[in-house]
């Protein structure tokens, strides 16, 4: 599997010497760079992290899928793990709509009061 990292000129130099059919994207790439890579290689599979996948141009993703290239998003969420389940945090808005106060929500959801205030202020609107 050929890893795509470095500057565009380094990537194109590496690609021109390779005959791999699989790529692993280690950095953001433009639609133009992907097109140039596809000119040199017959690609069947492209793997990347969730963060890199989000940066891929939608037009390039559509074009790759129509060409039969498999796009694989690999790896888990990076960074600090979530302290509270998303379901509990989503319920803060629902309970607010039902007329609950912050202290009542904190007690009912078994969350710190500060966390409830933070999410109420963050999703105000």
- The answer to whether 34 touches 13, Cβ cutoff 8 Å, is no
**Edge to edge, what strands does the sheet with 22-25 contain?**
2-4, 22-25, 45-48, 70-73
- Cα angle: 11, vertex 72, 57; to 5 degrees: 60
- The residues pairing with 46 across neighbouring beta strands, listed in sequence order, are 23, 71
Per-residue pLDDT tens digits of the chain, which is 125 residues long? 888 788 888 888 888 888 888 888 888 888 888 888 888 778 888 888 888 888 888 888 888 888 888 888 887 666 788 889 889 999 998 999 999 999 999 999 999 999 999 999 988 75
């Amino acid at each position: 599997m050929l890893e795509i990292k470095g500057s565009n000129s380094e990537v194109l130099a590496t690609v021109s010497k390779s005959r791999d059919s699989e790529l692993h994207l280690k950095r953001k790439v433009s639609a133009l760079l992907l097109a140039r890579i596809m000119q040199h290689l017959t690609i069947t599979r492209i793997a990347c992290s969730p963060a890199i996948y989000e940066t891929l141009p939608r037009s390039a993703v559509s074009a790759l899928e129509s060409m039969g290239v498999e796009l694989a998003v690999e790896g888990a969420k990076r960074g600090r793990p979530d302290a509270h389940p998303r379901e509990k945090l989503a319920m803060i808005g629902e309970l607010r709509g039902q007329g609950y106060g912050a202290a009542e929500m904190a007690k009912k959801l078994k969350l710190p009061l500060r966390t409830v205030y933070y999410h109420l202020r963050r999703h105000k609107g």
